[in-house]
Structure 1
Amino acid sequence: MSAARRADVRLFEGARDVFIADSAFRVEITQSTGIDGLKQIIAPSAFHNSGECYDPPRCHPRTRKALLGRIMSWVRGVIDTEALIFWLNGSVGVGKSAIGQTIAEMCEREGLLLASFFFGRSDPARNNAKHFVTTLAYQVALAVPHARHRIEQAFEHDPVIHTRSLETQIMKLVIEPLGQATAVQIGIPPLVVVDGLDECADRAMQCKILSLIHQASWSLATIGHRLIFLVGSRPEQEISLLFNSSPIQDITIHYTLGDCVDSDDDIRRFLEDRFEAIKKSHPIKNSIPSSWPRSEDINELVWRASGQFLYAHIVIEYTSSIRHRPFDRLAELLTLPSQQANNPFADLDVLYTHIFSSVQSVESVLKILGLCLTKFSSEDLAFSDIVRNRLGLGYEDVKLLFGDLSSVVDIVYTLERGSYTWEMNLRHASLEEFLTNQHRSKKFFVDIEPSVAEWVTWVLRNNLVDHPQHVDDLEAAFRKLKSSKSQLLHDVLRDCHLALLLSKPSLQLASVQLSRFVYSAITAIKHMPFEDAEILYETQLQSFESQVQLILGRFYSPVVYFPLLLKGFTTRAPRHTESALCDMLRIERKELDTRDPLGFTWRGRQWSQFFSFLSTFIHDPTRSFEYAMDGVKLAEAALALFRFLCYPKLSTNIFGKFLSSYTELLKYRPWTSRRMRLSRSNTAPRKWFKWRFCDHCARAHTTKESCIGYDQFVPTLAYLSSHRSSLIILHTSHELLGYRFALTFLSDILAAASRSAELVECCKEYVFHSTSILFPHKSKIARRAISEYLERMEAKEQGS
C-alpha cells in the first residue's frame, strides 16, 4: 500500500466515531406552506361554485327527479353501499354537467360534499390534471379540520410535493390526511364530484385520474372510511375500457343518460316550463297566443332532441331572442327537415346550421371564431388585441356581428389590469366540434390552420414574444401548420429569424427550455408544404447555430462545463449534475438556470433530437468554429478536474466535524441512531455499504422500493470499523456530489484529450484527495484512465 493511501486510511479511521450530517440537507422552504401556499397551486375555476363559471348548468326543477333521488340515496348510504364510484355517462348534450352541478349543490347544503373538480376543455387551468389533486386537497383541508393539519405538514416536509407524481400527491394530500382524520372526527363528507373527465386534454391522464379515484376510494374503504366519487364523462373508449375492467368495475355503478323514456319526459317538462316563461317575460308577450306552442310542436322538439338537453336549451335560447318574435323563430325551427337517421347529432347539426345561416357577415364571424379556436391568447396576448390587429374590429363591431349568435356564443366585456377588454366564450363544447368537422358543418367549416398561421404571423411581425409561455405557444402553433400554404406565413418565415428569440434577455433568463422550443419550431418548417421549405429551414437553422455559438462562448466557456458537452454525456438524475456544477463553479443553485440556457443538465427523452443536434454541432469545427469541442479543450478540462480532485477546497472538513456541531439537525433524523444501530448486526466490519438518504422523506433507505424518491438521490455511504465502534456516515452532500461528478468524467475526458505537457506532468504526480476513498470503484477507473493516457502520450512521442 502506498504512503499516500495509508495516510488516507489513517485519516479515515480516525474519524470512525463521527457522524457527518451535512448542512446541505437542511430543507429550505422556498415558498409558502400550508393553506396559503396551497392556494397558489390549485384551479379555482374547477370548483362547482366557482365565480369564474358564469351561470353553470343545473337541472330544471321538474326534471331528473328519479335520477337525482337515486344518486342522493347512494350518497347518504341508503342504497348501493358497496359501490364507491357512480359513473354518469352519456353523449354530448344529455345533461351530465347539469346533474353533477345540481348534486354538488344539494350535497353542499346537506354537508355531504367533500370536494369537486369540473374539467373544462377551453380553460387551460382545468383541461389537464396538473392541479387535480391539489385542488381536491385544498377543499379537503377546508371541509375537514383534522385533515388540514396533516396536509400542511406534508407541504412543510416537502414544499414542492405538488411536483411529485399524482399517486404520491393523492396519497400524501388526500388519503393519509383523511385516514388520520377518520380516527378523531365523525361526519366527514363522503362525496367528491368529478365532472367532464373526457375534457381532460391528455387521454392517458384521463385513465390516470380514474386510477387515482380507485386508489383513494379503495384505500380509505379498507380502513372503514367511505369516500365516494360521482364521475361524469362521455363514454370514450379509454374511459369505458377502464370502467369495465376489474377492479374498478366491481365498485362502480354505471348509468347512461339519454337511453330511457325518462329523458324525453324531462325534456318535455323543461320545454313546457321555459315556453311559459317566454310568454310571461318577452317584450311582445301580449301578442303571443295563449295556446302557443301546440303540444304536437313540443312533441316534435322532444323527438328531435333525441335525449339531448343541449338541443332543447339551444331551441329555447334561439326562440327567446328579444329581437325577434318567438312564434316566428319556433316556426322556423319546426320547418327544418328532420335528419334523425341513426345519428343523434344530425338534428343538432341542422339547428347549428340554421343559426349560422341567419348571420349576415358570416365570413368575418368564421374568421373571428377561427382565431378564438386557436386558443393561444393569454394575459399578455389578449384575444381582443388579436382581433383588433388582424381584422380591425373592436368590441362594438364584434357585438353587432355576433348579435344573431347570442344563443351559442357569449361575448363578455371585462375590466382587466386597469383597462377594458373583451373575450369570447362558446356556450357549448359541441359547437367547436361542429365547426371544426367539415363533414358536419359544410360551408360553415372553420379551418384552424389559417387562423394559426394568422396568429403566428401577427406575433412574429410585431415582435410580441416576451414570455416563455409565448415561445411554448409558438412551438405548439408550428406543430399545427404542417399543411399550411399561407403566403403571409411564408413571408414572415423568410423575413423573421426565430433564433433571435434566444438573444432576448427577458426570455434568456426565464427558461432553460427556450432553445429547445425554438429548435422544435424551426424543425417543423422543414415539413411545411412550401416549395422552398428546405431553404427556409436551412436559413433558420443557420441563424439558430449562430446564436448557439454566442451562447456557448458566453455561458459555457468555463472548463468545468466541458463534461456536459461530451457526446456520450448522460445523467439519470439532473439534480445531481446541477448540484455538482454549483459546487465546482462556486455559485448558488438559483444561478444555474441563467448559466445553463441550453439545458444540458436536463436531457429528457422527448428532447433527444435536440441534444443529438447540439452534440453533432459542438463536435463539428466547420460549424461551431472556435467553440468546437476538441482535444486541446478536453486537456484543459482534465487539468481543471485534476485540480478539483486533488485540492477540492471543500467548504466543510468532512473528516473533522464533531457530532455536537449537528445536535439540533440530528434531532430530526432518528434514522442516524435507531435505524443505523439496528443495521450493525447485519453489516460486516470494515466494509462499505450504501443507504439512500432522501430529501423527500428525510430518511435513509436500503432498498429501491423503500422510497418513491429513490432514483433522484445519490447513495449515502456508511462504514463500520468494528461491531463495537460507532457507525460512520458520510453523506453525498453538494461537495461530494461535485467530487463524484469530477471523478466520473475524468476518464471520459482523458480518453479524448490531446497532448499537454502540463497535463502529462499532472498525471505523473497526482495525489487524489482523501475524499476519493468514498468512491473506490470510480477512483480505480480514473486511475486506469490516467495510466492509459500516459501510455498513449508516450507511444505518440516515440512514434514522432
Structure 2
Amino acid sequence: MTHRIEITGNRAEANSTQVNNMTLNTSHTTEEIDRTCLLALRCPDSLVVKNLLKENKDKLVHKSFDWILQDSQYLSWQDGSDVGVLWIKGGAGKGKTMMSIGLIEKLEERSRQAKETTVVIYFFCQNDDAALNTLEAIIKGLILQLVRQQPMVKQSLRERWDMATLRFTEDVSSWRGLWAIFTEMLHQSDCARLYVMVDGLDECQDRGMVDLLRLIVRTELDRPSRVKWLLTSRPLDSAEQELLTARDQVQVSLELNSDHISQAVRNYISSKVVELDRRQGYGPGLKRIVEDELHIRAQDTFLWVTLVCKQLESVKRENALGVIRDLPPGLTAFYDRIMRQICDGERSVIEGCVRLLKVMMVAYRPLDVRELRGVSGLLDEEPDMEKWIERCASFVMKRGNTINFVHQSARDYLAGQTGGAILDSYDRYEHGDILMNSLAYLRQKLKVDLLDLRRPDSSRELITQCELELLATLSYAATFWFRHLEVAGDDLVQRAFRGQGLLATFLQTRLLEWLECLGWLDETARAVEALKILVKMSTDSAHVSLADVFSLIGSSV
C-alpha cells in the first residue's frame, strides 16, 4: 500500500473501478448508492490522521491538558446551552494538537457513558498535505465522520446522486456546495448534542477561511447550541475578527493561561525524563536536575521538550546536562542551532540534507522514503538518504516509510528569512525541478503492462511485494507532476512543451502507461485533473495553445 493511501485512509476506498462496476447492475440498493456516493466524494479519513498524529506525538500525557477540563470557559461550552463556539488559540509548540486529541477522547468517553445520544466528529488540518489543508477537505472529513455515526444523514448525499451518470447533481467540488450538504446533515441528525472539532485552522491554505468562520459563528441551527464547535489555531489575524463577533462564542488563550501551561509542560517533562532514565540510567539525583534544566529552558513549549529529549536519547548520562545547557531556549534559537549543525561538515552530506529539506518544502504532501529518488533527482544516492533523514531529525521525522515535518513550526522556520536563506545558499530546488525529475523518472520506469501480469483479467491479489514496491516509488511522481507544472515558471513550461521538451516527450511516449499506473494506484481521477490543468494553461499562456495539448495527447493515443 502506498503512502498516499495510508495518510488519507478513505482514499483507499475511492477506487474508480469499484464505482464503475456499479453500472453493471440495473437496480441498486440504498446501501450500494450510499457507498457509491462516498466513494465518489473521496473524503479524507480523520480517524486515520488522528491515529498517526497520536503516534507522532509520543504517548498522550493526560496531565498535560487536564487543567482545561476545569476551565470555566471550556465547561460553559461543553455543558451549557448558550455557548456554541470555543476557540483555543496559542503559539507554536504549545500543545494544541495534543490537547485536541485528548479532548476528543474525553468527549468520546463521555458520549459512551451518556444516556442521550452524543456525537463527536473532528478534523486535523495539515499544512504539508494538500489533501488535508483545504476547506473542501475539512468539510469532507467531517461529512465522512458524521455519516459513520449517524447513518440516516446519508440521505443528503443520496438525493444528490444520479445513478445513471454516476455523478452528483450539485457541485461538490467547492467548499460552499459541501457546506450546504453538511449543514443539511446537521439538521437531519437526531443526536441530542454534536461536538465538531477542527484542529490547526491556521494550517488550512484557503482564502475562504474568513467566509467559513463567518458561517460557523452565524449559522442558526434547529436548537440553540445543539452543535458545539471547538476550533484550535495560532492567532488568525483578520479571521480572528469573525470569531470574536459571535455572541455565543468563548475563547481560551494558552498564553493567558501560562500557569496552567507551565505546569502541564512540567508534567510532560517528567514523563519524558522517566523514559530517558530507563534508557540511560540517570538515577534520582541526575533525573531531578535534568527535569529542572529542561523546565527552565523550555519556555513552556511542549515541542522544545520533545525535540531536546529526542536528542538526549542517544546521549550518555554523563553528557546529558552539558547537552541541555548548550542548547538555546525557544524554538527559533533551537532551529538556528540545528541548522548550523546540519551545515557543518562534508559538503556532499550538507547538500544531501538541504536537498531533502527543499524537496519536503515543495512537495504537496508528506513523502514515502521510496518516492524520494523519483522527485529529488538524487537517483544514485539512496544509501545516503537514511543518513540525511537522521541528520535532519529536528526538522523531519520518519515513521515507517513516511517522512513528515516534526511540526508546522519547523516548516515555518525553513520558509522564513533565516532558514530559507540558508537553504537557498546551497540549493534553489523548486517546483520546476520536481516536475522535470518526476517526468524523467516516470519515463524511465513506466512501460506497457507495468506489473508484468500479462493477462487482462489479472486481479490485485496477484501483485507481488516487489511490484507493490515499484508502485510506491512511482506514486508521488505519477500523481503530482502536473500540480508542479501548474506553478512552474512560464519559461520552463514553454521549454517543457516544445519540440523534444520533457513534457512533450512524456505525453507522446508514456501517456497510456501513465494512465495504467494511475489505475493501479487507485488514482484515475488524477488524469482528469491533469487534463484540466493542461487546458487551463493553454488558455493562460501565450506560448502553449490548446492545439498543442491535444496534438501531444493524440500522438500518444
Indicate whether the TM-score tops 0.5: yes
Aligned residues of 2:395 and 2:405 also touching (Cα < 8 A): yes
Counterparts of 2:48 and 2:375, CA distance in 1: 32
The residue aligned with 2:275 is 277
Count of residues in Structure 1 that have an aligned counterpart in Structure 2: 469
Counterparts of 2:441 and 2:42, CA distance in 1: 34
1:261 to 259, 262, 268: 259
Amino acid at match of 1:92: A
The residue aligned with 1:171 is 180
Amino acid at match of 1:349: Y
The residue aligned with 2:338 is 352
Counterparts of 2:297 and 2:119, CA distance in 1: 36
Amino acid at match of 1:332: V
Alignment of 1:430 with 2:418, yes or no, is no
- The structure with the greater share of residues assigned to helix is 2
Structure 2 matches for 1:573-652, cutoff 5 A?
Answer: none
Structure 2 counterpart SS, 1:201: coil
Change (3 A) 1:495 1:390: farther
Counterparts of 2:268 and 2:60, CA distance in 1: 9
Counterparts of 2:264 and 2:431, CA distance in 1: 42
Tell me how far 1:458 sits from its aligned partner.
Answer: 2.2
Counterparts of 1:467 and 1:440, CA distance in 2: 30
Alignment of 1:402 with 2:389, yes or no, is yes
Amino acid at match of 1:253: V
Amino acid at match of 2:184: E
Change (3 A) 1:145 1:298: same
Structure 2 counterpart SS, 1:236: coil
Change (3 A) 1:68 1:407: farther
Aligned residues of 2:78 and 2:228 also touching (Cα < 8 A): no
1:290 to 284, 287, 299: 284
Counterparts of 1:480 and 1:64, CA distance in 2: 52
TM-score (norm 1): 0.51
Amino acid at match of 1:279: D
The residue aligned with 1:116 is 122
Counterparts of 1:98 and 1:549, CA distance in 2: 50
Structure 1 counterpart SS, 2:132: coil
Aligned residues of 1:370 and 1:447 also touching (Cα < 8 A): no
Aligned residues of 1:500 and 1:547 also touching (Cα < 8 A): no
Alignment of 1:513 with 2:532, yes or no, is yes
1:139 to 130, 135, 145: 145
Amino acid at match of 2:323: E
Tell me how far 1:550 sits from its aligned partner.
Answer: 5.4
The residue aligned with 1:478 is 489
Counterparts of 1:74 and 1:39, CA distance in 2: 38
The residue aligned with 1:312 is 305
Moved more, 59-68 or 145-154: 145-154
Counterparts of 2:259 and 2:95, CA distance in 1: 15
Tell me how far 1:517 sits from its aligned partner.
Answer: 4.8
Aligned residues of 1:374 and 1:448 also touching (Cα < 8 A): no
Alignment of 1:331 with 2:328, yes or no, is no
Structure 1 counterpart SS, 2:351: helix
Tell me how far 1:200 sits from its aligned partner.
Answer: 1.0
Alignment of 1:192 with 2:200, yes or no, is no
Q: What are the superposed Cα offsets for residues 124-143 of structure 1, whole Å, 9 maximum, x if unpaired?
A: 21111223323222222222
Structure 2 counterpart SS, 1:390: coil
Counterparts of 1:298 and 1:147, CA distance in 2: 50
Q: What are the superposed Cα offsets for residues 340-372 of structure 1, whole Å, 9 maximum, x if unpaired?
A: xxxx64433345346636776222111122122
Aligned residues of 1:474 and 1:521 also touching (Cα < 8 A): no
Aligned residues of 2:86 and 2:252 also touching (Cα < 8 A): yes
Change (3 A) 1:159 1:118: same
The residue aligned with 1:73 is 75
Q: What are the superposed Cα offsets for residues 221-267 of structure 1, whole Å, 9 maximum, x if unpaired?
A: x54561011101111213212223x3x2x121111113322211221
The residue aligned with 1:82 is 82
Aligned residues of 2:312 and 2:320 also touching (Cα < 8 A): yes
The residue aligned with 2:248 is 251
Counterparts of 2:323 and 2:74, CA distance in 1: 40
Change (3 A) 1:142 1:275: same
Amino acid at match of 2:196: V
The residue aligned with 2:102 is 102
The residue aligned with 2:371 is 383
2:212 to 209, 212, 228: 209
Structure 2 counterpart SS, 1:33: helix
Sequence identity percentage: 16
The residue aligned with 1:496 is 501
Aligned residues of 2:95 and 2:303 also touching (Cα < 8 A): yes
CA RMSD, aligned part only? 4.3
Counterparts of 2:93 and 2:498, CA distance in 1: 42
Aligned residues of 1:87 and 1:253 also touching (Cα < 8 A): yes
Tell me how far 1:196 sits from its aligned partner.
Answer: 0.9
Tell me how far 1:330 sits from its aligned partner.
Answer: 4.2
Tell me how far 1:154 sits from its aligned partner.
Answer: 4.6
Counterparts of 2:395 and 2:551, CA distance in 1: 52
Structure 1 counterpart SS, 2:197: strand
Counterparts of 2:230 and 2:52, CA distance in 1: 22
Change (3 A) 1:89 1:51: closer
Change (3 A) 1:333 1:237: same
Counterparts of 2:303 and 2:366, CA distance in 1: 29
Structure 2 counterpart SS, 1:450: coil
Amino acid at match of 2:75: S
Counterparts of 2:177 and 2:427, CA distance in 1: 38
Structure 1 counterpart SS, 2:37: helix
Tell me how far 1:119 sits from its aligned partner.
Answer: 0.8
| Structure with the greater alpha carbon radius of gyration | 1
Change (3 A) 1:74 1:33: farther
Amino acid at match of 2:325: L
Aligned residues of 2:413 and 2:420 also touching (Cα < 8 A): yes
Q: What are the superposed Cα offsets for residues 139-165 of structure 1, whole Å, 9 maximum, x if unpaired?
A: 222222443445544546983446265
Tell me how far 1:519 sits from its aligned partner.
Answer: 3.6
Aligned residues of 2:119 and 2:194 also touching (Cα < 8 A): yes
Counterparts of 1:431 and 1:198, CA distance in 2: 15
Amino acid at match of 2:306: H
The residue aligned with 1:61 is 62
TM-score (norm 2): 0.71
Tell me how far 1:521 sits from its aligned partner.
Answer: 8.8
Q: Which runs of 5+ in 2 are unaligned?
A: 1-27, 112-117, 447-476, 516-526
Counterparts of 1:378 and 1:353, CA distance in 2: 21
Tell me how far 1:447 sits from its aligned partner.
Answer: 7.2
Structure 1 counterpart SS, 2:64: coil
Tell me how far 1:472 sits from its aligned partner.
Answer: 3.2
Aligned residues of 1:48 and 1:117 also touching (Cα < 8 A): no
Aligned residues of 1:436 and 1:446 also touching (Cα < 8 A): no
The residue aligned with 1:128 is 134
Change (3 A) 1:274 1:62: same
Q: What are the superposed Cα offsets for residues 372-427 of structure 1, whole Å, 9 maximum, x if unpaired?
A: 22205799996333267525122x432233334445422345xxxxxxxx442222
Change (3 A) 1:491 1:479: closer
Structure 1 counterpart SS, 2:286: coil
The residue aligned with 1:450 is 429
Aligned residues of 2:43 and 2:144 also touching (Cα < 8 A): no
Change (3 A) 1:175 1:496: closer
Aligned residues of 1:113 and 1:191 also touching (Cα < 8 A): yes
The residue aligned with 2:355 is 367
